[in-house]
Amino acid sequence: MSPEGVFTITGKTDKNTGRKILAQNRKARHLYFIEDKYEAGIVLQGTEVKSVRAGRANLKDSYARVDGGELFLYNMHISPYEPGNRFNHEPLRVRKLLMHRREINRLTGYVQEKGYTLVPLSIYFSGGKVKVELALARGKKDFDKRRSIAEKDARREMERAFKDRQLAR
C-alpha cells in the first residue's frame, strides 16, 4: 500500500502543450538567449522518479554536455525519496540524456563551433516518461539583461494601461 499523495503529479500544466511541468529553470531565460529547444529522455533510478513525481527536483545551475558521443546532464538536484531508505540515489549524480544520434551530432557541432551551451529549461511527464526540455542557448551580456527587463516592464505597463482603458468604458 502506498501513502496517500505519493503518486500524484504536482506542478503546473503548460497551457500550450497540456504537459504537467514538474520543475522549471526560470533563471535560464534571464541569463541566456534561447535559440532552439529539444526534447530528451532522461535515465533515472526508481527513487528518483518517485522524488521527481513529488516535485522535488531542482534545475538551478544545471547544464548538459556531450561526452564521448553521449549526452549527460550535470548539477540537477533530485532530493532523496523519504521512504527509499538504503535504495536511495545520490542527489547530484550525473544523469544520461536520451536523444537520437543525429540530434546529438548537431548539438555537438553547435556547442564546439559557435559557442552555444545546452541548458535544461524544464522537466515534465510525457506519455508516462520523464522528459527534459533542453535549450540551445547563447549567454546574455549585462546590457542585454537590462534591456530585456526594460522591455518586459514596458509591455506590462502597456497591458495595464490598456486594461484600465477598457474598464473605463
CATH assignment of the domain containing 87: 2.40.280.10
Is residue 148 one of the residues assigned to a domain?
no
Whole-prediction pTM: 0.73
Does the pLDDT at position 8 exceed 80? no
Number of domains composing the chain: 1
- Half-sphere exposure (Cβ direction) of 86: Cα atoms closer than 13 Å: 0
Averaged over 5-14, what is the pLDDT? 51
In a domain, 23, yes or no: yes
Mean pLDDT, the chain, integer: 81
Domain hosting 67: range is 12-140
Domain membership flag for residue 152: no
The phi, psi pair for 146, rounded to 5°, reads -65, -40
Q: What percent of the chain has pLDDT over 90?
A: 14
Q: 163 — alpha (psi -120 to 50), left (phi > 0) or beta?
A: alpha
Give the tens place of pLDDT for each residue, 30-40. Answer: 788 888 899 99
Place of cell 537590462: 146
Q: Is residue 58 part of a domain?
A: yes
CA angle, residues 40, 80, 20, in degrees to nearest 5: 40
Domain assignment present for 160: no
Residue 82 has pLDDT above 80, yes or no: no
